[in-house]
Amino acid sequence: MLVFRTRADLSAFLSKFHLSDACIGFVPTMGALHQGHLSLVQRAKSESDLVVCSIFVNPTQFNDPKDLKKYPRTIGHDIALLEQVNCDVLFLPEVAEVYHSNESWFIDLNGLDQVLEGKMRPEHYQGVTQVVKILFDIIRPTKAFFGQKDYQQCLVIQRMVDQLGMKVGVIVCPTVREADGLAMSSRNIHLSEIERKNATALYKALRRAQNEFPSQSIEQITTDVTNYLKTSPGIELEYFQICDCDTLAIASSGQAKLVALVAARVGKTRLIDNVLLE
What is the per-residue pLDDT for 102? 77
How many other β-carbons are positioned within 10 Å of the β-carbon of residue 24? 23
First to last CA, the chain: 41
Percent of the chain exceeding pLDDT 70 equals: 100
pLDDT tens digit sequence for 232-251:
999 999 999 999 999 999 99
Name the fold adopted by 186-273: Pantoate--beta-alanine Ligase; Chain: A,domain 2 (3.30.1300)
What is the per-residue pLDDT for 253? 73
Flag whether pLDDT at 254 surpasses 70. Answer: no
**Is 3.40.109.10 the CATH number for 2-173?**
no
Closest CA relative to residue 202, chosen from 175, 242, 243, 237: 237
pLDDT tens digit sequence for 265-277:
999 999 999 999 9
Helix-, strand-, coil-residue percentages of the chain, each rounded to 5:
45, 20, 35
The greatest distance separating any two alpha carbons of the chain, rounded to the nearest whole angstrom, comes to 58
Residues tagged active-site: 37
Q: How far apart are CA 52 and CA 37, in angstroms?
A: 13
How far from chain centre, in Å, is Cα 21?
28
How many other β-carbons are positioned within 10 Å of the β-carbon of residue 53? 29
Looking at the DSSP assignment, which residues form a beta bridge with residue 52? 26, 89
Q: How far apart are CA 70 and CA 204, in angstroms?
A: 28
pLDDT mean over 53-60: 96
Per-domain residue ranges for the chain?
A: 2-173, 186-273
